[in-house]
Amino acid sequence: MAKDVTINALKEAKGKRKLVMITAYDALFASLFADNVDMILVGDSLNMSFAGEPDTLSATLDQMIYHTKAVCNGAPDSFVICDMPFGSVTTPDETLKNAIRVFKETRADAVKIEGGQERAALIRHLTDNAIAVMGHVGLKPQSVRAEGGYRVQGRDEESFERVLSDAVAVEEAGAFALVVEGVTPKLAEAVTKEVKIPVIGIGASVGCDGQVLVWSDMLGFFEAFKPKFVKRYMHGAEAVKEAVARYAEEVREGTFPGEEHCYL
Ligand code: KIV
């Protein structure tokens, strides 16, 4: 079944219109987001906001497949991307086997792979085998333990040049688009100018070809911390707490359910 958004339409958007991506982890929210976005990413960030883990590293391929299926069910016409979790992109055979599982077991349109030059051969192996790949360079959350923290990239010449080369390597490997995370505006703009594929920023700059935010951050449901780059478009956590408090109060005082909620 043809989807509303295709890879070609996404590629052609570069320089013409901004692309909007949001994460989703379940059918219900995916269905609420579908009409207003170009792409839905089933990000491994679900391991933090949904599973309550301190980072994304313990997310499994089974978990990602489960959530991607749910998102595809909720937004059947949307362009859906499944994040390849930590440990699933290692050798060429293993990476291809894992990506094929995603394509066979879900209706995802693409997978996302964190990494630059060091992952280029693996990305090429997937694109040569009809798996569409979105790259992810700059700050790479899956490298948090190896790098001893989340570090903004591009403040020094070494990281500026490395991320730029990473972006080029990922494009040359056949990726159709690229996430650039946690970089200075100057680097985000240099990457966007350097490559011909759409560059989707997060913690980057308005100079990118599009933006992505984690849904539970931008709707204010995730309260544990708020990175600088997050804008809260609603206060979800407050709204939920307030609604549940009213429900609890009405149950306790005996005013819910009312007659209108009963089968008379
Ligand atoms: O896991 C995720 O949600 C992501 C986005 C932050 C791009 O990779």
pTM above 0.85, yes or no: yes
Smallest CA-to-CA distance from 152 within 140, 142, 164 is with 140
Mutate to test the pocket of ligand 1, among 19, 22, 41 (most ligand atoms within 8 A of CB): 41
Whose alpha carbon is nearest atom 3 of ligand 1?
43
Superfamily of structural domain 7-233:
Phosphoenolpyruvate-binding domains (3.20.20.60)
Distance CA 12, CA 25 (A): 27
- 40 and 23 Cβ atoms separated by less than 8 Å: yes
User: Residue 7 Cα, ligand 1 centroid: separation in angstroms?
Assistant: 19
CATH 3.20.20.60 residue spans of the chain: 7-233
What is the pLDDT tens value at each position of the chain, 264 positions in all? 567 789 999 999 999 999 999 999 999 999 999 999 999 999 999 999 889 999 999 999 999 999 999 999 999 999 999 999 999 999 999 999 999 999 999 999 999 999 999 999 999 999 999 999 999 999 999 999 999 999 999 999 999 999 999 999 999 999 999 999 999 999 999 999 999 999 999 999 999 999 999 999 999 999 888 899 999 999 999 999 999 999 999 999 999 999 999 999
The distance in angstroms from the start CA to the end CA of the chain is: 45
Q: Is the CB of 182 under 6 A from ligand 1?
A: no
- Rounded distance, CA 184 to CA 22, Å? 21
Q: Which of 40, 49, 56 to mutate to test the pocket of ligand 1 (most atoms within 8 A of CB)?
A: 56
Backbone angles phi, psi at 43, to 5 degrees: -85, 150
Whether 40 contacts 71, CB under 8 Å: yes
Residue type, 99: A
What residue's CA is closest to ligand 1, atom 5? Answer: 43
Q: What backbone torsions phi and psi does residue 8 show, to the nearest 5 degrees?
A: -65, -40
